[in-house]
Amino acid sequence: MVKDKETEKKYKVKITNPWDCYKVLRDLLEYEDREHFLALTLNTKNEINSIITVSIGTLNSAMVHPREVFKSAILSNANKIIIAHNHPSGHILS
């Protein structure tokens, strides 16, 4: 994994509640036409270290193995992780 300096500079924000996380992810996922499963890695100050796309799926699913989520967390020396995914179909309940 290569640390993306652009991501590091752009998203050096502190996550203190779900709304903070939503604001960052909305910009990344708002217009995606397929499901994206992301891992946000945080430092000890709850600032975002990195945002990693773990999986890109189809309109209504994304396959994810826990190994890939934890790999990104370990390689980025994360203190905490937040995982998230979008619903491009607009249906949050199946």
pLDDT digits (tens, 9 = 90+) for 6-31: 444 566 789 999 999 999 998 888 88
Give the amino acid at 60: N
Sheet holding 36-42, edge to edge: 48-56, 36-42, 80-85
Per-residue pLDDT tens for 40-93?
A: 999 999 999 999 999 999 888 889 999 999 998 999 899 999 999 998 876 555
What does the domain layout of the chain look like in residue ranges? 5-86
Give the amino acid at 23: K
- Among candidate residues 14, 23, 21, the one with its CA nearest the CA of residue 43: 14
| The predicted structure's pLDDT at residue 11 | 63
The CATH topology of domain 5-86 is: Cytidine Deaminase; domain 2 (3.40.140)
Per the model's pLDDT, the better-predicted residue between 37 and 9 turns out to be 37
Question: Would the pLDDT of 2 be above 80?
Answer: no
d(CA 75, CA 23): 25
